[in-house]
Chain A
Amino acid sequence: MAIVFKKPRSMTDTHMHYCPGCGHGVAHRLVAEVIDELNVREETIAVAPVGCAVLAYDYWDFDVTESAHGRAPAVATGIKRVFPDKVVFTYQGDGDLISIGGNELLHCANRGENITVVFINNTVYGMTGGQMAPTTLPGQKTTTTPLGRDPATEGHPIRVCELLSSIPGVKYLERVSLDKTANIIKARKALMKAFQAQLDKKGFSLVEMLTPCPTNWGMNAHESLKFISNDVIKYFPTGVIKDEL
Chain B
Amino acid sequence: MEEKVTLSGMGGQGIILLGTLIANCAMEEDRSVTLIPSYGAEMRGGLSQSYICISDKAIGSPVFACPDSAILMYQPSMDKYENSINPDGLIIYNENMVFSKPARRDITYIPVAANMKAQELGNLKAANIIMLGVWCKKRKIIGYDTVSRAIRNIFKTKSQKVTDLNLKALDLGYHLV
Contacts and interface: CB of A to CB of B under 8 A. Distances in A.
A55 B40 CA distance: 11
Nearest to A126: B43
Nearest to B11: A17
B45 interface: yes
Give the interface SS of chain B, mostly helix, strand, loop or mixed. Answer: loop
A17 B41 CA distance: 10
A216 B41 contact: no
Instruction: Bin chain B's interface residue count.
Output: under 10
A55 B43 contact: no
B44 A52 contact: no
A215 interface: yes
Contact of B46 (A17, A20, A54, A215): A17
Specify which of B41, B42, B45, B46 lies most central, judged by the most chain A CB atoms within 10 Å of its CB: B41
Interface string B27-54: 0000000000000111111100000000
Give the interface SS of chain A, mostly helix, strand, loop or mixed. Answer: loop
A245 interface: no
Contacts of B46: 17
Nearest to A17: B42
Interface in A199-245: 215-216
A19 B44 contact: yes
A127 interface: yes
Interface string B66-92: 000000000000000000000000000
A215 B44 contact: yes
A54 B43 contact: no
Contacts of A52: 41-43
A52 B40 CA distance: 10
Contacts of A19: 43-44
The 3 nearest A-B residue pairs measured at CB: A19-B44, A17-B42, A215-B43
20 contacts: A17-B40, A17-B42, A17-B45, A17-B46, A18-B42, A19-B43, A19-B44, A20-B44, A52-B41, A52-B42, A52-B43, A54-B41, A55-B41, A126-B43, A127-B41, A127-B43, A129-B43, A215-B43, A215-B44, A216-B43
Given A52-B41, A126-B43, A216-B43, 6 more contacts: A17-B42, A19-B43, A19-B44, A52-B42, A55-B41, A127-B43
Interface of A: 17-20, 52, 54-55, 126-127, 129, 215-216
Interface of B: 40-46
